[in-house]
């Protein structure tokens, strides 16, 4: 039985492990049989004894994104100026809302909101041809 690291065990697995323990199996035997750690078994037993819960708990809360209060304002600004670059939006956030964020944070936020990601203006540069490096033994072109 495989599970992704960081994911809780299924309710079915929890019930089988706790049922085996209730049936009289030793903790080490249950751990080897189901491929779970001794630590997890002891924690699951203690939690059931103290709270009566056997299911997985909700994942821990993550901090809210820095730009979450400004989602509506960002949507409105991108709708008003769809060709604004990430750098321009970043300057607008600092100027209007006093919020300083990196381009990466702004990029991630726009992706999360499903808004277009414009990085910079498209500008083509035409370089003049580079002169060849000096060659001491080369014959100079004839003067006309």
The string of pLDDT tens digits covering residues 58-77 is 877 778 889 999 999 999 99
Using an 8 Å Cβ cutoff, are 74 and 89 in contact? yes
- Top pLDDT among 60 and 52 is at 52
How large is the average pLDDT for residues 70-95?
92
Average pLDDT over residues 79-90: 89
How far is residue 121's CA from residue 124's CA, in Å, rounded to a whole number? 10
**Average of per-residue pLDDT across 78-88:** 89
User: Residue 6 has what pLDDT?
Assistant: 74
Helices vs. strands in the chain: H and E counts, helices first: 6, 0
* Band of pLDDT at residue 127, cut at 50, 70 and 90: low
Q: What is the pLDDT, as a whole number, of residue 143?
A: 63
Confidence of residue 97 (pLDDT cuts 50, 70, 90): very high
The pLDDT score that the predictor gives to residue 60 is 76
Q: Model pTM?
A: 0.46
Which residues 6+ apart lie within 8 Å of 97 measured at CB? 70, 73
Distance CA 125, CA 47 (A): 66
22 pLDDT exceeds 80? yes
Look at residue 121 and tell me whether its pLDDT is greater than 70.
no
Q: Where are the domains of the chain?
A: 11-51, 68-113
């Amino acid at each position: 039985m495989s599970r992704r690291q960081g994911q809780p065990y299924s309710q079915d697995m929890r019930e089988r492990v706790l049922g085996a323990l209730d049936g009289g199996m030793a903790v080490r035997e249950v751990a080897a049989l189901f491929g779970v750690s001794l630590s997890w078994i002891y924690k699951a037993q203690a939690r059931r004894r103290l709270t009566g819960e056997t299911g997985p708990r909700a994942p821990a809360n993550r901090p809210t994104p820095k730009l979450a209060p400004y989602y509506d304002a960002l949507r409105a600004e991108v709708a008003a100026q769809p060709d604004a670059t990430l750098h321009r939006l970043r300057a607008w956030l600092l100027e209007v809302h006093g919020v300083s964020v990196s381009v990466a944070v702004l990029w991630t936020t726009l992706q999360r909101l499903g808004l277009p990601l414009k990085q910079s203006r498209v500008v083509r540069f035409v370089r003049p041809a580079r002169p060849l490096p000096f060659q001491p033994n080369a014959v100079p072109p004839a003067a006309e």
